[in-house]
Amino acid sequence: MNITVETKSPTATTGILKIGPHIFNCTLGKSGVISADAKKEGDGKTPLGIFPLRQLLYRADRVLKPETGLRAEALTQDTGWCEDPAHPDYNKKITLPHPAVHDRMTREDHLYDYTVVIGYNDEPAMAGKGSAIFMHLARPGFAPTAGCVGLRAQDMLEVLKFCDLSTQITILPPC
């Protein structure tokens, strides 16, 4: 079953996520949405387009493995994600310590307790076109993301039940 994300304007930081008959509120990038062609590293925008869901990463030290048809992997304290456009590991899961600019996947907050890797700019990764585009847990107060799609924990668990290896996410242009 596929996911669609709709928003009302290019600068909107929230949207509606739909999967089958289910509808959930979601957060988007702090600078809104942008075409995948125009996306740049660090712009705070969620890319528009159709993307596969690569896998689920989850914090087994905090949460149970959820029901999902996605490939699921427990995060470890040394799991990171490379965000350095100049490094060959750009937009890839890495093992820490790592010399490049990176995001630690075992954050102090709960954003990455459940993290779905969205297959954006990864086959191959093009330097500077954006990295670490995930569907993860929403920030407290439903604050915007850095370019990802955020869901409340209970909504994420419901969405994951309908995801499998063929699931794609379509982030639609504003209507």
Q: What is the pLDDT of residues 70-100, one digit of tens each?
A: 999 999 999 999 999 999 999 999 999 999 9
Q: Residue 3 — pLDDT band, cuts 50, 70, 90?
A: very high
Q: Are 36 and 48 in contact (CB under 8 A)?
A: yes
Statement: residue 175 has pLDDT above 90: no
Length of the chain measured in residues: 175
Helix (H) or strand (E) holding 163: none
- Taken in order of first residue, the domains within the chain and their CATH numbers are 3-171 (2.40.440)
Q: What is the pLDDT of residues 102-161, one digit of tens each?
A: 999 999 999 999 999 999 999 999 999 999 999 999 999 999 999 999 999 999 999 999
DSSP line for 60-117: TTTSPPPP-BS-EEE--TTEEEE--TTSTTTTSEEESS-SS-EEESS-SSSTTSEEEE
Report d(CA 86, CA 157) in Å as an integer.
Answer: 35
Cis-peptide, bond into residue 88, ω within 30° of zero: no
pTM over 0.85: yes
Q: What is the pLDDT of residues 15-45, one digit of tens each?
A: 999 999 999 999 999 999 999 999 999 999 9
Q: Interior CA angle at 112 toward 89 and 125, to 5°?
A: 25
pLDDT value at position 136? 98
pLDDT value at position 70? 98
Mean pLDDT calculated for residue range 43-48: 98
